[in-house]
Amino acid sequence: MIIKNVLIISDDDKDRLGELNFVAKKFSDNIDAIVFTNKKELEIDVKKAYGINNIPPNSIETILPLASKYDVILTNGTVGAHIGGILTLKLSASCVFGVSEIKYDEFIFSHSAYGDKAVIDYKPEHLPLVLILKEKYFEQLTTNQLMEIEWLECKKDNIEIVKEEKIEKEVELDKAKIVIGGGRGIGSKEGFAILERIAKLFGGVVGASRAAVDNGWISHQYQIGQSGAMLSASLYFAFGISGATQHLSGIKNVKCVVAINKDEEAPIFKRARYNIVADWKDFAMALINELEETNG
């Protein structure tokens, strides 16, 4: 199927734009973008960048005339959740939601389901096509190119923001390069203090399984998995984590997993590169001693 042009629709998050820009380049060099932003310039490699200073649900009528000119529309994140389905309906387009992998030559789009236990492949038969990508599943296109924005005005506000509250995150697990994770096997809030020591020595951050969060040992901000953060770390230590399906989904894109568990049948070992059958605390204290000696 011949793709003549691509439209990116996103907020101005650098990582989201980078992923969309990478995928767009696989289809065509004729790329434009519509970005929900207050910025005057954006780091993005496109022909033209349009800006909207409003929220996505209020912007459909503004976006629609532009979107109708493109073969493929790429979006993700909250923006994609708000407008992907509406654009599909208005444009009588094909749509694949939650795309986690693309076979570009075969024009096949994969959606992982049931906690990554199953993968569903879709092959659209007509254009236009709306693709709503899963975040953290694709490479990012990096560019130093700054694009000036051509502003689009929304004709009307269907939805009014009554209250807006920004929540400051203590940790951004999805951006961390080294993560020290703890699960049910840690056994207490005090156990996470030990993991915090390891994280500091590595220059990383602490994460947790849902079981550890549910037990109140650490806050939900640190949860890894389908109902938490999706990691893209280079190194992940899994202390006392058995490896439930929803947790394994959250570490799918980690480059190197080191699992420490006294149960040699723990599912996490099938995902890990290095498997250590041991008491988590014994190994943790030995690792701390070694790192402290190395760091002087």
How do residues 72-121 score in pLDDT, each as one tens digit? 999 999 999 999 999 999 999 999 999 999 999 999 999 987 766 788 99
pLDDT mean over 170-180: 89
* Residue 183 · residue 248 · CB < 8 Å: no
User: In this structure, which topology does domain 6-152 adopt according to CATH?
Assistant: Rossmann fold (3.40.50)
Residue 113: the pLDDT is 76
For the chain, give every domain's residue range: 6-152, 173-294
| Cα-based distances in Å from 63 to 173, 210, 295 | 33, 39, 55
Q: Is the pLDDT of residue 216 over 90?
A: yes
pLDDT mean over 161-171: 68
Superfamily for the 173-294 domain? TPP-binding domain (3.40.50.1220)
Residue 159: the pLDDT is 73
pLDDT mean over 124-138: 93
Question: Sign of the C-alpha dihedral, residues 227, 75, 9, 23?
Answer: positive
Name residue, tokens 């696989």. Answer: 26
* Residue 237 · residue 180 · CB < 8 Å: yes
Residue 257: the pLDDT is 97
Q: Does this chain's domain 6-152 share its CATH topology with 173-294?
A: yes
Residues whose CB is less than 8 angstroms from the CB of residue 235 and which lie 6 or more positions away in sequence, other chains included: 177, 178, 179, 202, 204, 254, 255, 256, 258
Task: Name the region of 262 (left: φ>0; alpha: ψ -120 to 50; beta: rest).
Answer: alpha
Gap between the Cα atoms of 217 and 219, Å rounded? 7
181 forms bridges with which residues in the sheet?
A: 207, 238
How does pLDDT run across 31-87, given as a tens digit for each residue? 999 999 999 889 999 999 999 999 998 999 999 999 999 999 999 999 999 999 999
Residue 167: the pLDDT is 61
| Element holding 210 (H helix, E strand) | helix 210-214
Residue 294: the pLDDT is 83
Amino acid at 259: A
Q: Is the pLDDT of residue 14 over 70?
A: yes
Range from 42-56, 155-169, 189-203 carrying the lowest mean pLDDT: 155-169
